[in-house]
Amino acid sequence: MDLFDDEMIELQPSLTLIKGMATAQASQFWQSVMTISRQSPFRKMQTPGGQWMSAEITNCGTVGWVSDRQGYRYVNRDPLTDQPWPLMPVTLYEFACEAASRAGFEGFSPDICLINRYRIASKMGLHQDRDERDFAQPIVSVSLGLSANFLFGGERRNSSTQSILLEHGDVLVWGGPLRKYFHGISKIYPGDDPLTGPYRVNLTFRRAL
């Protein structure tokens, strides 16, 4: 695959959409997700306020992100299985590093991939990724399967938002001054994807520790 054949769109300084970058490797990535979820199954998590998230979640890497009545945090063992999280596949790690580099963030070294699985009715409210230690590191988001409307906001929850259509194989990278901006998913488009079926699967790479 020639990564540099894909279309790069600078939506804002430090917010880059790379259209179709993951398309050629999507089947391989999907198989990795299936392997990871057999070891650490997808599950719905509870917010500290007691509500249940509509997206289903699992992780791979050194640590995993969890949420419950005790709060949002990273843990080194899967609370569902009491086992270490699955290792991050080398192909995923290298892809995330390359995507970050293309977007202008050299030296990114993710230690976690948070995997969200969305059904057609699923959404993700506006939120910040702020449980990590080093906010100089970017976020790399890979979309597989059904299309979605991704909302990218500002420093406050009530800031105006930009709606970004994310399709199968798209990669979105943000960081720098936008690293803690609010973002979310407002809509999953109905369909039956040849790879993921009735799901959108989102792989989010971060440096947590």
What is the total count of domains within the chain?
Answer: 1
CATH number at residue 24: 2.60.120.590
What global pTM score does this model have? 0.95
Confidence band (pLDDT; 50, 70, 90) for 2? very low
- The pLDDT mean for the chain works out to 96
Does 157 appear as a known binding residue?
Answer: yes
Does 66 appear as a known binding residue?
Answer: no
- What are the DSSP E strand ranges found in the chain? 7-12, 15-19, 43-46, 52-61, 64-68, 71-75, 77-78, 83-84, 112-118, 124-127, 139-145, 148-152, 162-166, 171-174, 183-188, 200-206
Does 131 appear as a known binding residue?
Answer: yes
Does 59 appear as a known binding residue?
Answer: no
Residue 174 domain-assigned (yes or no)? yes
Does 207 appear as a known binding residue?
Answer: no
Does 133 appear as a known binding residue?
Answer: no
Domain range for 55 = 8-206
Does 168 appear as a known binding residue?
Answer: no
Q: Are strands 64-68 and 52-61 parallel, antiparallel or unpaired?
A: unpaired
Residue 3 domain-assigned (yes or no)? no
Q: Is the pLDDT of residue 53 over 90?
A: yes
Residue in this structure with the two tokens 């105006």, named with its chain if needed: 160
> HSE of 29 in the Cβ direction (CA atoms, 13 Å)?
27
Does 69 appear as a known binding residue?
Answer: no
List pLDDT tens digits, range 59-115: 999 999 999 999 999 999 999 999 999 999 999 999 999 999 999 999 999 999 999
Q: Is the pLDDT of residue 4 over 80?
A: no
List pLDDT tens digits, range 186-202: 999 999 999 999 999 99
Residue 1 domain-assigned (yes or no)? no
Residue 78 domain-assigned (yes or no)? yes
Over residues 20-49, the mean pLDDT reads 97
Residue 162 domain-assigned (yes or no)? yes
Does 199 appear as a known binding residue?
Answer: no
pLDDT at 177: 97
Residue 158 domain-assigned (yes or no)? yes
pLDDT at 5: 59
The separation between CA 133 and the C-alpha centre of its own chain, rounded to angstroms, equals: 18
Residue in this structure with the two tokens 């969305």, named with its chain if needed: 118
Does 140 appear as a known binding residue?
Answer: no
